Each structure stands twice: as structure tokens, then as C-alpha cells.
């Protein structure tokens, strides 16, 4: 029998028992639908997290100085006076390093416009905006010349602008950090909260030399931000920084740590892997349940249609013709269920998205997985009933009442 | 001995093994049926006529003996080969009509063509099924479902279905068993017309007056043929029907 004729036959047989067919499909519909909805929502969330990771800047490597222990008190990462600007310059000489910025960080009260605000004062090099992939909203980043001349210039984050210069363009005005006036040369574009819930725009950036000589009077830096030339070179650069600094510091215990975004990304993918495994488990359980429903109904259908099977065999249907007929019926049932499930799942995730504002995304891979697995469920659960039908004896089948 | 017989049974036996007792349903039947014959197989229940019909219809295989159908030895074929033989060489007509419910007369008639090895075009299937329905006088009801047709009409659809693959043999199992007497005569009229056109028909029946419409009667008892003779004083369905109508008219006039 021809393929399309068989499909038409199956659809007609299923339409004869519309309610029964729909109820049978419901198992697959609910299973596939919930999986597609869940996948859409988690993929949307993962995508959002990935975007946040990317907002930290691409191919970023951070070198922290080690822990400073004074008596019994341990200061935590970044407290040891071990990293220097010379270290930073040495790292800049390494191959595959695109940009370097020694970093000083300190929280301080800033004043301007008759208002004050406590914010994070960062000392950086002009490379910092490139490393963090951060554009200017107005004005410009300070220059290497400003770093060399220990200039009193500052670049503001959007939050600081909102707090101290509401409704104004602060470029050209003055902000006071520890009573020292800094000329505002630029404003950064808003970047929003980072992964850890910190407002990245709540910051004032000044040249690291100015930070070290005019604000904090320090000779070491808290950390060094490095950008690798390519994503592939991140781990090589990380190793090179490790051996470079180990050589320079000659300490027995490593007094610094080198962290990359790769680690963060790996942690993120580990989370989404757990999520996918969980989803796959739910999906397989609901597909098994749906499959049992289909097998049950197909067995009933074979019994009900014993006489039909007998007639078909009498007029020349081979065992294989009968097998295929019932198998196609089961697969049609499950495949239709799968397609309806995919559609409903996508609609459901859209509803969730518009109700809660969560971004959702239905990956094509999962649409493929859902269609293939529902068809496979149809084949598996339809095979036994179909085989049973094909093995009927035509004489007995014709006599069946 | 001519070898162009449609059916040639030689010492055919069929034994069922049920538990400890062997049931010899057919014990040594030899029978030849030639093209154009119209044979009634008669016998009481348990005489082995159903078993014999199943074997002639290639639904079952003899345990012993040889069966040539249209020159092919079918006694050693497997299930699939038997299915193909049924499809190509035999048209079945059953007592209970055995049409597919909720399926139009036309599609019921097309059914055997769905299982032919050489694939037929949709249009060709359609056309052949319509021609077969025309032969039994039901072309106008091609789109009716079985539940919209009378018993006699359903049996005509079944006959059309049996004819559609141009088989060597029509095999009818109590074809009038579920019909009233007038409709029975009408169905026998269809068979006689087909037989006149050269189609070989073998029919199982236990009604003597139905058997009188055939040309030859074979009687079975205890799995053996006890009588095989030509029908004398054959009934002609057309004549009988005419008499019946006249009788009915006479009743109405009186």
C-alpha cells in the first residue's frame, strides 16, 4: 500500500473515534507542551544570564592580589600589597594581551552640585572601557597623558550622574573626591546590574595614578584587569600571567590569583546542564505515560477491529500491510499530539512571558527533539498492538463477533 | 485428463490437533472444477464444508494432499504468498457481507486493489471499482455507506468487491443466509448473470432451493464427497422473479 494512502487511512480511522483519539493524544500533548514551555522559559533565562556575563566584557582575565594576614586577621583577596603597576606593565608585554588596566578600588563620599553620594571610586587605565566593552554616553574617556600627568579628571557612571546632576549634562563640571576637585570629562552608558546584583553604573572612574597619589596614597594595586586578544587565547594568557607573576614575586606561596570569565561561564553552563537533564527526565516520564495510553488504545482498537483485519486479510492484505496500517495509526496519533504539544507549549511560554516579563526563547533543537521523540513513542507503543493485529488468523478474525 | 481446471484438489486432508484428539475435518477430497462452472457445495454442519471452503479460498492449507488453483500449487505457500493468491485469484463473498463500516460502497469495492502488488493509480482504482459496481447494478449508490444500504444491496457491493481484481474464481459462503427469499433470488440472479459471462463460481449453501440455481452440486458428509452431480431442472432467477411479481400483483388485484 502506498504511503499517503496509509496515512489517509490512519487519519480516517482516528477521526471515527474523535474524542477517544483526542484523549489519547492528551498524554503526549501535555508532556510535550510542558517540556517545550519549560525549555522556552529556562532558555530565555539562560540567555539573559549569558548576556549579563557578556556585559562584564569579553575575554576578561582578572588578577587579584593575595590575602594579607596581619597577626591573626586575614584580609581576604586583594588585601596583600603585592601587585604593582610594574606587574601590570609586564603583563601588557605578554603576547595575546589586548588591553591591561591596573585597578584601584575604594568607596568614598563624593560631592558635587551641593549634593553628596557614597560611591565606588575606581582607578583605571584608559583601556578599562575597552576591557569592559563599555561605551561613552557623552564626553570621552581620559587619556594616557592624563594617567602620566596624574590628572584630576573623572568619568562618571549613570547612577552617580542621576544622583548628583539630576537632569544635567555634567561634562565640564567638577566633582569632589576627598575634597579634591576632579574635572568631569565623560559619562558612561548605563550598563545596569551585574550578575551579583551590583549596580555597575554606581561608580566614578579616575586615572589609577591619580587614585594612588591623590586619593588613597597606595603603592600597590588591588587587581589588574586584562583582556585576552581572543576567546581561544584566554587560558594560555592565564597560564602566562601565572608564571610571569610567580617569577616576579618569587614567593613560596602564590600571593595572587588569576580568574577568568571562562570559570563563570562554566559555572553557568553547569547550571543549565542540570536544568536540561531535569527537563529531559520530566519529558521522558510524561512521554512514557503518553506512550502507555497510546498502546492501551491501540490494543482496544485492534480487538474492536478484528473483523476489519480479517476482511483485509481475506482480500489479500499481507501481515506487513496490517502491521504498517496500525503502526502508522499509532505514530499519527503521537506525532499529531507532539505537534499540538509544541504549539501549545510555545503559546504557553508566550503567555508566561507577557504576564511576567520573563524573556522566553524556544530553541529549534528542542522542537526537533520533541517531534522525533513523540514519533518514536508512537512507534514503540504502537508496535506490539500492530504486531498482534498482523499475526491474527484470517479465518478466526472473520468469524470474530 | 484436462489440466486447465480452475480448482484441482487431489486427496486433500485436513486434520486439526486439538488437545489429545485429532479431528479429521476433511478426509481425502478430490475435486476438479473447470472454468465457467457454477458449483454448490452442500452438507450439514460438521460435514467439513467450511474447512474445505477455507482451503479452496487459500485461507488455510491442507495437511495432506495437493491443491492446484488456476494451475498453481498453493498447498505449500506461506502466509504472504497465500495473501497474494487471495488478492489476485479469488473473490470472496460472505454470509455477513463483511463490508467495512462507515466506508462508502466505492471504497469498499476498491479495497482489494489497495493490496495488489502492482500499484494502481488512484484514478484507475476508482474507475475499476465503478465498473464493478455497475455490473451488480449499484453504480448510483457508490457513495452510500453500508448502513444506508439494504441487505441485498450490501451483498451486491460485496460481489462488486470480489470482482474488482478479475479473479479466476468467486467463492461465496452462504451468500443468501442473511437475506429474505426474494432478495436471495435477486442475488442468485446476479450470480447467474456473472456465470453466463464466464465467471467460475463456487458457493457453499445448505438450502436446496438455492442450490438449484447452480449447475452442479457437491454434497459432503464426514469430510468426504458423497455425491457430485449436475443440477437437473435448474431454476432461472429471472423467471422465478417474474413469477413472484405476478403472484404479488395478483394478490393486490384480488
Average confidence (pLDDT) per 10 residues, chain A, 401 residues: 77 88 91 88 80 74 77 67 86 90 90 90 92 89 92 93 89 90 93 79 93 87 89 86 85 76 72 78 84 92 93 93 93 93 92 86 88 91 94 91 76
Integer CA distances (angstroms), B104 to A91, B125, B226, in order: 85, 14, 43
Instruction: Please report the pLDDT score of residue A50 as a whole number.
Output: 75
Asked whether the beta carbons of residue A1 and residue B112 sit closer than 8 angstroms, the reply is: no
Q: Which domain holds residue B155?
A: 7-253
Is residue A236 assigned to a domain? no
Integer CA distances (angstroms), B52 to A59, B49, B110, in order: 86, 5, 28
Instruction: Please report the pLDDT score of residue A156 as a whole number.
Output: 93
A272, A217: one domain: no
* Torsional class of B48: left (φ above 0), alpha (ψ -120 to 50), beta (otherwise): left
Strand partners, A120: A107, A203
Chain centroid to CA B141: 22
Chain centroid to CA A206: 33
The verdict on A305 touching B (C-beta cutoff 8 Å) is: no
Of A314, A319, A320, the CB nearest to B86: A314
What are the cell numbers at B216? 452442479
Name residues whose C-beta falls within 8 Å of residue B26's C-beta, 6 or more positions apart in sequence.
B12, B13, B14, B48, B51, B52, B55, B62, B223
Which residues in chain A (14-33) have CB-CB distances under 8 A to chain B?
A: 16
Is residue B2 assigned to a domain? no
Query: Which of A222, A251, A282 lies at the terminal end of a domain, its last residue?
Result: A222
What are the cell numbers at A53? 556575563
Rounded Cα–Cα distance for residues A151 and A131 (Å) = 21
Low-confidence ranges of chain B (pLDDT < 70): 1-3, 254
Rounded Cα–Cα distance for residues A148 and A145 (Å) = 5
A117, A217: one domain: yes
A109, A217: one domain: yes
Strand partners, B18: B21
The verdict on B192 touching A (C-beta cutoff 8 Å) is: no
The verdict on B81 touching A (C-beta cutoff 8 Å) is: no
Asked whether the beta carbons of residue B119 and residue A2 sit closer than 8 angstroms, the reply is: yes
Is residue B36 assigned to a domain? yes
Q: Which residues on A lie below 8 Å from B86 (Cβ)? A: 313-316
Residue ranges with strand state E in A85-222: 97-112, 115-124, 136-139, 153-156, 174-177, 180-188, 203-207
Q: Which residues on B lie below 8 Å from A319 (Cβ)? A: 79-80, 83
Rounded Cα–Cα distance for residues A93 and A214 (Å) = 27
Rounded Cα–Cα distance for residues A366 and A46 (Å) = 15
Asked whether the beta carbons of residue A316 and residue B57 sit closer than 8 angstroms, the reply is: no
Is residue A150 assigned to a domain? yes
Q: Which domain holds residue A356?
A: 3-52+267-399
A132, A200: one domain: yes
Number of independent structural domains in chain A: 2
The verdict on A148 touching B (C-beta cutoff 8 Å) is: no
Query: Which of A222, A256, A281 lies at the terminal end of a domain, its last residue?
Result: A222
Rounded Cα–Cα distance for residues B147 and B131 (Å) = 22
Number of independent structural domains in chain B: 1
Rounded Cα–Cα distance for residues A128 and A386 (Å) = 68
The tally of CA atoms less than 13 A away on the side-chain side of residue B185 is 14
Is residue A351 assigned to a domain? yes
Residue closest to B151 by CA, chosen among B210, B97, B91: B97
Is residue A258 assigned to a domain? no
Asked whether the beta carbons of residue B87 and residue A316 sit closer than 8 angstroms, the reply is: yes
CATH number of the CATH domain containing B156: 3.40.50.300
The verdict on B116 touching A (C-beta cutoff 8 Å) is: yes
Rounded Cα–Cα distance for residues A258 and A122 (Å) = 20
A168, A273: one domain: no
The verdict on B200 touching A (C-beta cutoff 8 Å) is: no
Asked whether the beta carbons of residue A315 and residue B111 sit closer than 8 angstroms, the reply is: yes
H/E stretch holding A220 reads none
Q: Which residues on A lie below 8 Å from B116 (Cβ)? A: 316
Instruction: Please report the pLDDT score of residue B1 as a whole number.
Output: 45
Instruction: Please report the pLDDT score of residue A231 as a whole number.
Output: 77
Rounded Cα–Cα distance for residues A33 and A201 (Å) = 40
Burial classification of residue A107, based on how many CB atoms lie within 10 Å of its CB (0-12 exposed, 13-18 middle, 19 or more buried): exposed
Is residue A243 assigned to a domain? no
Give the nearest chain B residue to A305 (CA atoms): B100
The answer to whether the beta carbons of residues A182 and A174 sit under 8 Å apart is: yes
Instruction: Please report the pLDDT score of residue A252 as a whole number.
Output: 65
Q: What is the pTM of this model?
A: 0.74
Asked whether the beta carbons of residue A315 and residue B57 sit closer than 8 angstroms, the reply is: no
Q: Which residues on A lie below 8 Å from B100 (Cβ)? A: 308, 311
Strand partners, A174: A183
Is residue B189 assigned to a domain? yes
Instruction: Please report the pLDDT score of residue B82 as a whole number.
Output: 93
Of A1, A2, A314, the CB nearest to B59: A314
Give the nearest chain A residue to B117 (CA atoms): A1
Asked whether the beta carbons of residue A394 and residue B59 sit closer than 8 angstroms, the reply is: yes
Give the helix, strand, coil percentages of chain B, each rounded to 5. Answer: 40, 25, 35
Only one residue has cell 502466509, namely: B79
Shortest alpha-carbon distance between residue B98 and chain A (Å): 7
Maximum separation of any 2 CA atoms in chain B, in Å: 65
Rounded Cα–Cα distance for residues A192 and A175 (Å) = 22
What are the cell numbers at B43? 452438507
A38, A113: one domain: no
Amino acid at each position: 500500500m502506498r504511503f499517503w494512502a496509509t496515512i489517509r487511512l490512519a487519519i480516517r480511522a482516528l477521526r471515527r473515534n474523535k474524542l477517544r483519539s483526542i484523549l489519547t493524544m492528551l498524554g503526549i500533548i501535555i508532556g510535550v507542551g510542558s517540556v517545550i514551555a519549560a525549555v522556552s522559559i529556562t532558555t530565555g533565562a539562560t540567555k539573559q544570564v549569558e548576556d549579563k556575563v557578556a556585559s562584564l566584557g569579553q575575554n576578561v582575565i582578572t588578577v587579584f592580589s593575595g590575602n594579607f594576614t596581619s597577626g591573626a586577621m586575614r584580609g581576604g583577596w586583594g588585601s596583600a600589597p603585592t601587585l604593582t603597576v610594574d606587574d601590570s606593565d609586564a603583563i601588557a608585554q605578554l603576547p595575546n594581551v589586548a588591553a591591561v588596566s591596573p585597578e584601584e578600588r575604594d568607596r568614598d563620599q563624593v560631592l558635587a552640585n551641593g549634593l553628596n553620594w557614597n560611591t565606588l571610586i575606581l582607578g583605571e587605565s584608559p583601556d578599562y572601557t575597552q576591557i569592559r566593552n563599555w561605551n561613552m554616553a557623552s564626553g570621552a574617556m581620559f587619556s594616557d597623558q592624563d594617567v602620566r600627568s596624574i590628572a584630576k579628571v573623572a568619568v562618571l557612571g549613570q547612577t552617580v550622574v542621576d544622583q548628583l546632576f539630576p537632569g544635567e549634562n555634567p561634562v565640564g563640571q567638577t566633582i569632589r573626591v576627598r575634597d579634591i576637585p576632579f574635572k568631569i570629562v565623560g559619562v558612561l552608558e548605563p550598563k545596569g546590574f551585574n550578575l551579583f546584583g551590583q549596580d555597575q553604573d554606581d561608580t566614578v572612574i579616575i586615572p589609577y595614578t591619580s587614585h594612588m597619589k591623590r586619593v588613597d596614597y597606595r603603592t600597590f594595586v588591588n587587581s589588574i584587569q586584562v583582556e585576552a586578544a581572543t576567546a581561544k587565547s584566554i587560558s594560555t594568557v592565564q597560564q602566562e600571567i601565572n608564571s610571569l607573576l610567580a617569577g616576579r614575586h618569587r614567593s613560596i606561596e602564590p600571593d595572587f590569583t588569576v580568574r577568568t570569565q571562562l570559570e563563570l561561564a562554566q559555572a553557568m553552563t553547569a547550571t543549565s546542564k542540570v536544568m536540561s537533564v531535569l527537563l529531559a527526565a520530566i519529558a521522558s516520564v510524561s512521554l512514557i505515560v503518553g506512550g502507555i495510553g497510546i498502546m492501551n488504545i491501540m490494543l482496544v482498537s485492534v480487538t474492536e477491529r478484528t473483523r476489519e483485519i480479517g476482511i483485509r486479510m481475506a482480500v489479500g492484505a499481507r501481515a506487513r500491510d496490517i502491521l504498517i496500517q496500525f503502526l502508522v495509526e499509532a505514530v499519527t496519533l503521537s506525532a499529531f499530539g507532539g505537534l499540538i504539544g509544541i504549539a501549545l507549549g510555545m503559546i504557553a511560554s508566550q503567555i508566561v512571558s507577557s504576564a511576567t516579563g520573563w524573556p522566553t526563547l524556544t530553541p529549534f533543537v528542542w522542537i526537533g527533539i520533541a517531534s522525533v521523540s513523540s514519533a518514536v513513542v508512537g512507534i514503540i507503543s504502537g508496535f506490539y498492538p500492530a504486531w498482534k493485529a498482523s499475526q491474527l488468523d484470517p479465518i478466526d478474525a472473520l468469524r470474530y463477533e | 485428463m484436462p489440466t486447465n481446471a480452475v480448482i484441482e484438489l487431489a486427496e486433500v486432508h485436513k486434520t486439526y490437533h486439538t488437545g489429545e484428539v485429532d479431528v479429521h475435518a476433511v478426509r481425502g477430497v478430490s475435486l476438479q472444477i473447470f472454468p465457467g462452472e457454477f458449483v454448490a457445495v452442500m452438507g450439514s454442519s460438521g460435514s467439513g464444508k467450511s474447512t474445505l471452503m477455507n482451503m479452496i479460498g487459500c485461507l488455510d492449507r491442507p495437511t495432506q494432499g495437493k491443491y492446484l488453483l488456476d494451475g498453481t500449487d498453493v498447498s505449500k505457500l506461506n502466509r504472504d504468498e497465500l495473501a497474494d493468491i487471495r488478492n489476485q485469484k479469488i473473490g470472496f463473498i460472505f454470509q455477513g457481507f463483511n463490508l467495512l463500516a462507515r466506508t462508502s460502497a466505492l471504497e469498499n469495492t476498491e479495497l482489494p486493489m489497495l493490496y495488489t502488488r502492482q500499484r494502481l493509480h488512484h484514478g484507475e482504482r476508482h474507475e475499476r471499482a465503478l465498473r464493478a459496481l455497475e455490473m451488480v447494478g449499484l453504480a448510483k449508490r457508490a457513495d452510500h455507506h453500508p448502513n444506508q444500504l439494504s441487505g441485498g444491496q450490501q451483498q451486491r457491493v460485496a460481489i462488486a468487491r470480489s470482482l474488482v481484481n478479475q479473479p479466476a474464481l468467486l467463492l461465496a459462503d452462504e451468500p443468501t443466509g442473511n437475506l429474505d427469499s426474494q432478495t436471495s433470488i435477486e442475488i442468485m440472479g446476479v450470480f447467474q448473470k456473472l456465470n453466463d459471462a464466464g465467471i467460475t463460481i463456487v458457493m457453499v449453501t445448505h438450502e436446496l432451493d438455492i442450490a438449484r440455481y447452480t449447475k452442479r452440486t457437491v454434497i459432503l458428509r464426514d469430510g468426504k464427497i458423497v455425491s457430485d452431480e449436475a443440477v437437473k431442472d435448474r431454476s432461472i432467477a429471472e423467471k422465478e422473479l417474474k413469477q413472484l411479481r405476478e403472484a404479488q400483483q395478483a394478490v393486490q388485484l384480488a
